[in-house]
A and B are shown apart, each in its own frame.
Chain A
Amino acid sequence: MVEMKSTRDAYGDALLKLGENTDVVVLDADLSVSTQTNKFANKYPSRFIDVGCAEQNLIGVAAGLAIGGKIPYASTYAIFAMRAWEQIRNTLAHDNIPVKIAVSHAGLTNGPDGASHQALEDIALMRVVPGMSVIVPCDAVETDRAIISESARMGPAYIRLNRSKSPVIMPEDYEFRFGQAVLLKEGNDLAIIATGTMVHAALHASDLLKKENVAARVINIHTIKPLDERRIISAAQDTGAIVTVEEHSVIGGLGSAVAELLGEYCPVPMKKIGVRDVFGESGEYEQLLEKHGLTPDVIVQSAKEVLRRKQ
């Protein structure tokens, strides 16, 4: 039986471990139950700072705490962090201030709440900011390791987490290496490059393809910025066909990052799977994934399409 755990849950647990370091402070903008920062708040109340639903101030206060020597983790929903984009750019990133923005309910995972609460553009907005790192863990284990390892790395980061439970993929002894893609499955017919929740779907798709004698390489991009260019270029060289998958707009996210890179250094047939420049809507998470083609079946179809174009 595969263990199921949401990445926000893993975030809350990781903060509890980090809390032993008295320099770690956690901020939230009135969503501590949803983001799971309430676990930290209960254990270390003096180092938990609720700013109320005021996201611009959230970023500024976190920056000030970092200037004062603290290691701040600032949380809200992904959609609302975008509200403080300019603060993130000018206050955090420009000065390379080590605030870790860990956002939950990214992508479509906030299903029933509808379009206003779903974040499908955040990777694009964060990726474009100089000096900003963008991390999208694929499961609870990777989240735990990423959150803990980020506490020791200089510079700001945007860490994208989800609301829904998802399968645990990574082994218990997994070690997170910032900026290094993870090869999850060998294969030389094509490469499926996925991030976050879509890594599991990519693995599933590769199993389906295997039954049809197609060997798909599966690569987990947990760090979208800085991108592991070497591993992506060699995947394009080795396989000659690429499919990218992400729970994000096809504009500006992982697919765009890969296309920008390969367009310059190794153009091969490629297909981007993601939300196709539309807003979300209310519905169960799985219904929304289905509607936007974020499923193993669609990955398989796309794989076949790039294989045809490759020949």
Chain B
Amino acid sequence: MIPTDDIEFLKKKARTIRRHVVNMIFEAGSGHPGGSLSCVDIVTVLYFYQMRHSVMGSSADHDRFFLSKGHAAPTLYAALTECGYFPVEELCSLRKFGSLLQGHPDIHIPGVEASTGSLGQGLSIACGCALAARLDNRDCRIYTLLGDGECDEGQVWEAALFAAHYKLDNLTAIIDRNGLQIDGPTEKVLSLEPIAGKWREFGWHVIEIDGNQILEIINAFKEARHITWKPTVIIAHTLKGKGVSFMEWIASFHGKALNKDEMKIALEELGGA
């Protein structure tokens, strides 16, 4: 059983991160709010419940996370600042000239494990990292979060073959299945379904969850830890723009910033001032 207090703490944390995301993208005047909001609950559970990590720097048995869908950088940055990797004041510098917080995750940012943003590359990096850990008999887990549109990239499937072949059971991939990519619904742009079947046929253990439900996310990670000889993929069904009513399931908010009025309404909905 997971204590109710923990769930409540994580829900609250997710709300805080959503508020950061909305603020950051408004301040930046550009960014990717839709896909940042859809994955907040997943990233929250990773950083505040699931992963062993430390702001003091990574050590051999620490877990690692690669944000393969790098355009959700605001979510990662908000989580990192909430963990204490860098001061919260940095958030308003997102995407600005001379700032720490680059438009996509950058290695120079404390807590970021690899620069990402060009789609399709995080799973390969995660595979290499998982293999390195296994070669050294290190007890650590490697996580990577992919977008569903990102699964159009051929490299994702190269890496999917690889992880299954090398039986990387210390690797967990999460797919933010929000159903929308820049040009519209994924099934209209380039069909992914049956996406669970594809991963299963590629030799992965597949878990399907509601990726905006904290408890389901926690349980999925728990299940993944007990799977041996197979990598696990969590297909997390999420809502693009989750938490802000007028952004939910709206493709145009993939890469569009909020204006001032929208920002105000969004913060109100997220329980802010």
Contact = CB atoms under 8 A, between A and B. Distances in A.
Interface of A: 25, 46-47, 49, 51-52, 54, 56-57, 59-70, 72, 86-87, 90-91, 94-95
A67 B132 CA distance: 8
B135 A25 contact: yes
B3 to A, nearest CB: 33
A58 to B, nearest CB: 8
Contact of A68 (B124, B128, B155): B128
B133 to A, nearest CB: 6
Interface in B117-157: 117-118, 120-121, 123-133, 135-136, 154-155
Instruction: Give the secondary structure class of B's interface.
Output: helix
A67 B128 contact: yes
In this complex, which of A51, A72, A94 has the most chain B Cβ atoms within 10 angstroms of its Cβ? Answer: A51
A68 B114 contact: no
B159 interface: yes
B162 interface: yes
A70 B158 contact: no
B107 A56 contact: no
A69 B128 CA distance: 10
Contacts, number: 102
A64 B115 contact: no
Nearest to B117: A90
Given A56-B155, A61-B159, 14 more contacts: A51-B158, A56-B154, A57-B127, A57-B159, A60-B124, A61-B127, A64-B129, A67-B64, A68-B132, A69-B60, A87-B124, A91-B114, A91-B121, A94-B115
A68 B170 CA distance: 13
Contacts of A65: 128-129, 131-132
B162 A67 contact: no
Nearest to B153: A56
Interface in B82-139: 107, 113-115, 117-118, 120-121, 123-133, 135-136
Contacts of B128: 60-68, 72
Given A57-B124, A90-B121, A91-B125, A64 B158 contact: no
In this complex, which of A46, A64, A95 has the most chain B Cβ atoms within 10 angstroms of its Cβ? Answer: A64
Nearest to A87: B121
Nearest to A90: B118
Nearest to A51: B162
A59 to B, nearest CB: 7
B135 A64 contact: no
Contact of B135 (A46, A52, A54, A86): A46
B161 interface: yes
B115 A60 contact: no
A95 B115 contact: yes
A94 B107 contact: yes
